[in-house]
Structure 1
Amino acid sequence: MSYAETKACACSDDSILKLCEINREIQIIEINKKAFLNQNLLTLNDIKSTENSIDALKISISKLEEDIKTYFSNFF
């Protein structure tokens, strides 16, 4: 229990206690917002990494296709 909550209970002041509850909820929301933004950033990084991997695989496939064409043109 925080100092303000203890003071509110000791003084029987509901408005201070309500303010403490609201501040605690705001802190929880801010923590959840930061967690969401961090997770969103990680997801965007994963998407970018996957896109780069796909591009690299496309290049590898095109090089393999060229090798196959060269192979068939030399032997057939």
Structure 2
Amino acid sequence: MSPLRKTKPSPCLLASRRLWRASRGDTLANVPAAELAKAYLRGEDVYLGQGRWWRWKRDGVPGWLTPFLKETGLLGT
């Protein structure tokens, strides 16, 4: 028996994943920063609509939100 080989995803699949993540990030940017700060502080996931969620543990903090969270003292320096 031959060992299972992992194959690389096709470029189309990788591009669609990037587009999916980008659209989720754009949707998250439309949520008021105060609401995002509350959700981050409580560790609550943010519902983005259409069955999509921003999960802090999986997705992390987006770069554009980092300065706001640092300024409010919710994110360490």
TM-score, normalising length: structure 2 = 0.30
Task: Name the structure where helix makes up a greater proportion of residues.
Answer: 1
TM-score by length of 1: 0.31
The higher radius of gyration belongs to 1
Q: Choose between structure 1 and 2: higher strand proportion.
A: 2
